[in-house]
């Protein structure tokens, strides 16, 4: 077995890697954020643009991150340092480290709500209630500052405990059986959702594209959502790729992860939108969207309480395998570049994420100034770090590999282990021209051109 770096360890098997990468990708981005973005950006037309972004930009960028990671065996900062010593490119890696910390701080707030919903399910708090009442209970719950902060802390400690305890592999192995169960449950809920009275309007909102709704705000949202959902743009996949073996096939692994992740998002939409219309909820309901719609489905199935407890438990596990990967990037940086112990790095980064997460936890009703600040403090963290910064990171990576490191050494790296990288020409074209042009065009159209209007 050839490994990039024996002391850092590798995935036990090819499946081990696909599971970990899919575990990182599949999470609240698919089940919570994708329906929100779809609702806010006009439904089917957004879904259409989203899928184009995944296929044309997501897959090539994921292959690239994995190649950079496996070649260098490093965290994002170390990776740029090794490929281009003494240059400013390491700052792109640095942006990734900061971005990971920031996303983690807000993501764990929402993951905390999921934990709260496990409790609601067990206690039957939402059973038999209508959408308005459920919405009021959700708002009351997120408006409680101490509750939100406690749940945030709890989820972060859970994440750090896994990363420090080295039981990550165990979680990933457990999720190998749990995630297919989640998928089955999602499919069952889809069936219930589309058969609810009044669901038809939701199906057509989700499937019948109104192309007149597509503008650069929608395209930017779709691009950002693709990066977020696929865990791209901040070096998660560089870090995970650094644990890959030389004989793993990068291109097919990347494609498998991207397709699996998109399938879960599409299915989640199928579960939410029909039920949303059936329950009389506004598609633009914001961060509370699924928290109001899902109980409506569970209230309409036999053993709903039981199902819903189990469902939210599985979503919490999916969120955990994502927060693990978010924490892993700054931790790998402090371990590799600053020589910290894993334990010290994990707990200090977690403390940082907790402190930064407090205003996010308080921005959903608890503190008016944080709630009413633009789209709320938490919303802004997601906008700037969960969207803008990822897209900038992705653009920088394409330019770096396309013009500095070079397509040839990258293709050599990708070819290791796979006899043929059949799409190498297309991949090279996309990394050098297609992706940078599309991303830069979208950024300019959304942020620069409006300044001249
Ligand atoms: N992709 C994950 C989700 O959909 C979240 C996530 C994990 C992430 N690691 C990331 C997002 C890195 C952006 C970058 O829930």
Q: How high is the pLDDT of residue 8? A: 65
- Ligand 1 center to residue 130 CA distance, Å? 32
Structural domain spans, the chain: 5-452
Nearest alpha carbon, ligand 1 atom 4: 29
- Regarding the beta carbon of 218 and ligand 1, being less than 6 Å apart is answered no
Q: How high is the pLDDT of residue 12? A: 66
Over residues 414-447, the pLDDT tens digits come to: 998 665 788 999 999 999 999 999 999 999 999 9
- Ligand 1 center to residue 326 CA distance, Å? 7
Q: How high is the pLDDT of residue 171? A: 77
Nearest alpha carbon, ligand 1 atom 14: 231
- Identify the CA nearest to 63 among candidates 441, 426, 440: 426
Q: Which among 27, 36, 266 is the best mutation to test ligand 1's pocket, defined by most ligand atoms within 8 Å of the CB?
A: 27
Residue 292: pLDDT above 80? yes
Q: How high is the pLDDT of residue 187? A: 97
Beta bridge partners of 3: 245
Q: How high is the pLDDT of residue 5? A: 39
Ligand 1 nearest atom to the CA of residue 318, by list position: 15
- For 159-216, the DSSP string reads HHHHHHHT-HHHHHHHHHHHHHHHHHHHHHHHHHHHTSTTTHHHHHHHHS--GGG--H
Which token pair is 356?
A: 């930064």
Q: Which among 21, 22, 23, 24 is the best mutation to test ligand 1's pocket, defined by most ligand atoms within 8 Å of the CB?
A: 24
- Regarding the beta carbon of 27 and ligand 1, being less than 6 Å apart is answered yes
Range with lowest mean pLDDT among 5-14, 148-157, 369-378: 5-14
Nearest alpha carbon, ligand 1 atom 12: 231
* Average pLDDT of the residues in 332-359: 96
- Regarding the beta carbon of 142 and ligand 1, being less than 6 Å apart is answered no
Q: Does residue 418 contact residue 249 with C-beta atoms inside 8 Å? A: yes
- Ligand 1 center to residue 228 CA distance, Å? 5
* Average pLDDT of the residues in 256-263: 96
- Regarding the beta carbon of 193 and ligand 1, being less than 6 Å apart is answered no
Question: Distance from CA of residue 200 to its chain's centroid?
Answer: 29
Which token pair is 285?
A: 């309901």
Cα distance between residue 233 and residue 439, in whole Å? 12
Q: Does residue 193 contact residue 274 with C-beta atoms inside 8 Å? A: yes
State the first-to-last Cα distance of the chain, in angstroms, to the nearest integer.
Answer: 59
Cα distance between residue 205 and residue 211, in whole Å? 12
Over residues 45-55, the pLDDT tens digits come to: 999 999 999 99
* Average pLDDT of the residues in 155-181: 86
Over residues 2-39, the pLDDT tens digits come to: 333 335 667 666 667 788 899 999 999 999 999 999 99
Q: Domain 5-452 classified CATH 1.20.1740? A: yes
Q: How high is the pLDDT of residue 433? A: 98
Residues 154-190 as b/e (b if ≥16 CB within 10 A, e otherwise) read ebbebbbebbbeeebeebbeebeebbeebbebbeebb
DSSP 363: T
- Regarding the beta carbon of 28 and ligand 1, being less than 6 Å apart is answered yes
The owner of tokens 């705000």 is 217
* Average pLDDT of the residues in 226-237: 98
Identify the band that residue 247 occupies on the pLDDT scale cut at 50, 70 and 90: confident
Q: Kindly report the average pLDDT of the chain as a whole number.
A: 94
- Ligand 1 center to residue 230 CA distance, Å? 6
Over residues 173-221, the pLDDT tens digits come to: 788 889 899 999 999 999 999 999 999 999 999 999 999 999 999 999 9
Q: How high is the pLDDT of residue 299? A: 96
The owner of tokens 């653009």 is 395
- Regarding the beta carbon of 99 and ligand 1, being less than 6 Å apart is answered no
CA dihedral 143, 108, 273, 230 (to 10 degrees): 160
- Regarding the beta carbon of 389 and ligand 1, being less than 6 Å apart is answered no
Q: How high is the pLDDT of residue 4? A: 38
- Identify the CA nearest to 66 among candidates 431, 350, 440, 433: 431
Over residues 78-125, the pLDDT tens digits come to: 999 999 999 999 999 999 999 999 999 999 999 999 999 999 999 999
Q: How high is the pLDDT of residue 9? A: 65
- Ligand 1 center to residue 125 CA distance, Å? 30
Q: Does residue 32 contact residue 100 with C-beta atoms inside 8 Å? A: no
- Identify the CA nearest to 126 among candidates 356, 244, 290, 13: 290
């Amino acid at each position: 077995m050839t490994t990039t770096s024996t002391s850092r360890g590798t995935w036990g098997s090819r499946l081990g890697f696909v599971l970990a990468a899919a575990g990182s990708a599949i999470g609240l981005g698919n089940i919570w954020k994708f329906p929100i973005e779809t609702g806010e950006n006009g439904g089917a037309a957004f879904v259409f643009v989203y899928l184009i972004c995944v296929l044309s930009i997501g897959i090539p960028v994921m292959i690239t991150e994995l190649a950079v990671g496996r070649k260098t065996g490093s965290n994002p900062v170390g990776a740029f340092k090794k490929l281009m010593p003494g240059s400013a490119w390491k700052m792109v890696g640095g942006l990734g480290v900061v971005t990971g910390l920031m996303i983690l701080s807000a993501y764990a707030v929402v993951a905390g709500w999921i934990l709260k919903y496990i409790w609601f399910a067990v206690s039957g708090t939402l059973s038999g209630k209508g959408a308005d009442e459920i919405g009021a209970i959700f708002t009351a719950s997120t408006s409680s500052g101490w509750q939100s902060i406690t749940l945030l802390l709890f989820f972060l400690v859970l994440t750090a405990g896994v990363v420090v305890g080295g039981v990550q592999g165990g979680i990933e192995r457990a999720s190998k059986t749990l995630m297919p169960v989640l998928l089955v449950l999602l499919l069952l809920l889809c069936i219930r959702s589309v058969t609810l009275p009044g669901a038809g309007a939701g199906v057509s909102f989700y499937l019948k594209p109104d192309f007149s709704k597509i503008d650069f705000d929608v395209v930017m949202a779709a691009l950002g959502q693709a990066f977020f959902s696929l865990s791209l743009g901040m070096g998660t996949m560089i870090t995970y790729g650094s644990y890959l073996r030389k004989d793993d096939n990068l291109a097919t692994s990347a494609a498998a992860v991207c397709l699996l992740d998109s399938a879960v998002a599409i299915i989640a939409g199928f579960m939410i939108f029909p039920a949303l219309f059936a329950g009389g909820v506004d598609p633009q309901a914001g961060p509370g969207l699924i928290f109001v719609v899902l109980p409506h489905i569970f209230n309409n199935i036999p053993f709903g309480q039981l199902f819903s407890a189990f469902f939210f438990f599985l979503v919490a596990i999916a969120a955990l395998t994502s927060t693990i990967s978010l924490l892993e990037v700054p931790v790998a940086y402090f371990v590799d570049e600053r020589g910290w112990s894993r334990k010290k790095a994990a707990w200090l980064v977690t403390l940082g994420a907790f402190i930064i997460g407090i205003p996010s936890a308080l921005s959903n009703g608890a503190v008016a100034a944080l709630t009413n600040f633009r789209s709320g403090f938490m919303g802004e963290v997601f906008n700037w770090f969960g969207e803008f910064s990822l897209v900038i990171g992705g653009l920088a990576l394409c330019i770096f590999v396309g013009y500095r490191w070079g397509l040839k050494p990258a293709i050599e790296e990708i070819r290791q282990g796979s006899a043929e990288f059949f799409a190498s020409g297309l991949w090279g074209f996309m990394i050098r021209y297609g992706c940078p042009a599309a991303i830069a065009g979208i950024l300019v159209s959304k942020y620069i051109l409006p300044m001249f209007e």
